[in-house]
Structure 1
Amino acid sequence: TEPGLPPRAKVALAVLMAIGLCWAAFGGWAVTRRTPMFAQDRVVAGWLGLGAWLLFTVGALVITTLRHKLEPSLIVVVLALGVLAIANLRTARRTRAALLRRKEHLSQLP
C-alpha cells in the first residue's frame, strides 16, 4: 500500500507475513484434527516459534551489519527471545514424551 517504502521494509513485512501465514496454517491444522494430539500441537508451535526467532535473528544481524553498529539492547532481546523459544520447545517435547509414556502404560493395563 506504500510504494515509497525502502526495500528492507518491504522484506521485513514479507517475512512477517510469511510467519503469520505459517501460524495460520498451524491453527487450521490444529483445529481440524479429530484425534488426540498428545501435545503434538505444542511441539509444532515450539518449532514454529524457534523458526520465527531464527528469522528475526538473521534479519537483525543483517540490518546491524549493514549499519555497522551493534546495539547492546538488540543482543539482550535476541538472547532473551532465543532462550524463551528453546525453553518452550523443550517443555513441549518433554510434555509430549510424558503423555506418550502414559498412553503406553495405560494401553498395557488389563
Structure 2
Amino acid sequence: MTEEEPRLTAQEMIEQLEGSLSRWRRVRAVAALLAGLTGAVFVAALWWSEPGPLPGRTQLAFGLFGVFCLAWAGYGGWLLTRRVPLFATDRVIAAWIALVASVATTAVVATVAVQRGTGLVLALVVGGLFVVASVALAVRAHARRTALLRRKRELTGGDEA
C-alpha cells in the first residue's frame, strides 16, 4: 500500500460488508410491505364478503393467509426502519417466514385434498417443492449471516453479534 491510498477503518470495512439499506434492499422492503398489505386487504375482503357461515377449514385458511400477508407487511416495515448493517438478518427472517408459510399452506392444502379425496399427491409434490426451496433459502441465509458475523469479528476483534 502506498502513502496516497487511504486506509479504511474497521467500521468502514464493516459498512462495506453489509450496507445499512441499499437501493435494492429498499425496493424489496417496499415491495414486501405493499404486497403484504395488499394481500391482507384482499384476503380480508374475500373473507368478509363470503355469504353465510364458512366451514372451519375455510376459516382457518383465510386466517392463515391473512397472518402470512401481515407477516410480510411487518417484515417490509421493519426492514425499512433499519439504519444499521443487518448482517443478513433480513434474509434469515424472510427465509423463515417463507418456510413457515410454505409448510402451513402445504398442510392446509393436503388436508383439504384428503377430505375431498382428490389430488393429495399433487398437493404434496407442489407443496414439497415450495418447502424445499424455502429450506434452501433458509440454509443459504444462515450461512451468509454466519460468514458476515465471522468477518465482523475478525475486523473488530470482538465477540459481539
Normalising by structure 2, we get a TM-score of: 0.61
Instruction: Kindly report which structure 2 residues correspond to 1:14-25, keeping only aligned pairs within 5 A, or say none.
Output: 14-25=63-74
Partner of 1:73: 122
> How far did residue 94 of structure 1 move?
0.2
Q: Percent identity?
A: 37
- Of 105, 115, 133, which aligns to 1:56? 105
Normalising by structure 1, we get a TM-score of: 0.86
Partner of 1:29: 78
Partner of 1:92: 141
Give the root-mean-square deviation of aligned CA atoms. Answer: 1.7
User: More helix per residue: 1 or 2?
Assistant: 1
Contact 2:95 2:134 in 1 (8 A): yes
Distance 2:95 2:143 in 1: 12
Distance 1:56 1:3 in 2: 24
Structure 1 portions without partners, runs of 5+: none
Distance 2:134 2:52 in 1: 34
Distance 1:62 1:40 in 2: 33
- For 2:103, the aligned partner's letter is L
